[in-house]
Amino acid sequence: MIRTVALDIGETLVRDDRYWGGWADWLGVPRHTLAALVGAVVGQGRDSDDALRLLRPGIDVAAEYAAREAAGRGEHLDDTDLYPDVRPALTALRRAGLRVVVAGNQTVRAGQLLRALGIPADAVATSGEWGVAKPSPGFFARVADLAQAAPHETVYVGDHPVNDVAPAKAYGMRVAHLRRGPWGHLWAGTPEAAPADWHIDSLHDLLAIAAA
């Protein structure tokens, strides 16, 4: 029985193009250049921030992030950043009696912005708030606490096999791999994504999974 649906944030609920576009504008490089570098480093299994380090060797990403915020050019989210199925699908899950939680590798600020949007979730948390990030088991231990359900009663939904599928499965959760965004499409149908219990194209698919 599924009692809780836990969802990743980036490219699951929220498009990442504004986030990386903001970094490109701040660093004074074409957005396409940074987007391509992010795709390259993630495809190599590296941290996405390595794209920034390739552009600016020696950059202190945290300090530069703080400088952007201080300059009024920091993170921003509004409803246009949400995928169209987010509000209706999460609302339907909650109406069906499921607990819905959101937890991903995002900054403290991203958590504040998501809560301010009032997305239909029982709880929202980020790795920046927790001080532990995916794919660490410690992150999924925090997800389990947030879920208020046993791991096997929780479905974790995400687009990235390394950060979402493998570690959530290792923790004992059920997993839905979402074919969305660059990583969801890149790894769709691959051995890396194969361990997922379900492979979905929309958050609307989760209601049938939970009902079954």
pLDDT more than 70, % of the chain: 100
Cβ-based neighbours of 68, under 8 Å, separated by 6 or more: 22, 26, 74
Cβ-based neighbours of 20, under 8 Å, separated by 6 or more: 31, 34, 35, 38
**C-alpha–C-alpha distance, residues 113 and 76, integer Å:** 7
Task: Identify the CATH class of 4-15+78-211.
Answer: alpha beta
Phi, psi of 122, rounded to the nearest 5 degrees: -75, -25
- CATH 3.40.50.1000 residue ranges in the chain? 4-15+78-211
Please write the tens of the pLDDT for every residue from 107-132.
Answer: 999 999 999 999 999 999 999 999 99
pLDDT score recorded for residue 45: 83
Q: Quick one: how far is CA 166 from the chain centroid?
A: 15
Q: Specify the pTM.
A: 0.92
**C-alpha–C-alpha distance, residues 172 and 152, integer Å:** 6
In three-state secondary structure terms, 126 is: strand
**C-alpha–C-alpha distance, residues 117 and 114, integer Å:** 5
Alpha helix segments (H runs only) across the chain: 17-27, 31-43, 50-55, 61-70, 86-95, 108-117, 127-130, 137-147, 166-170, 181-186, 205-211
Please write the tens of the pLDDT for every residue from 188-212.
Answer: 999 999 999 999 999 999 999 998 8
Q: Which residue has the tokens 């499409």?
A: 185
Q: Which two tokens stand for residue 83?
A: 């995928």
User: Residue length, the chain?
Assistant: 212
In three-state secondary structure terms, 151 is: helix
Please write the tens of the pLDDT for every residue from 78-109.
Answer: 999 999 999 999 999 999 999 999 999 999 99
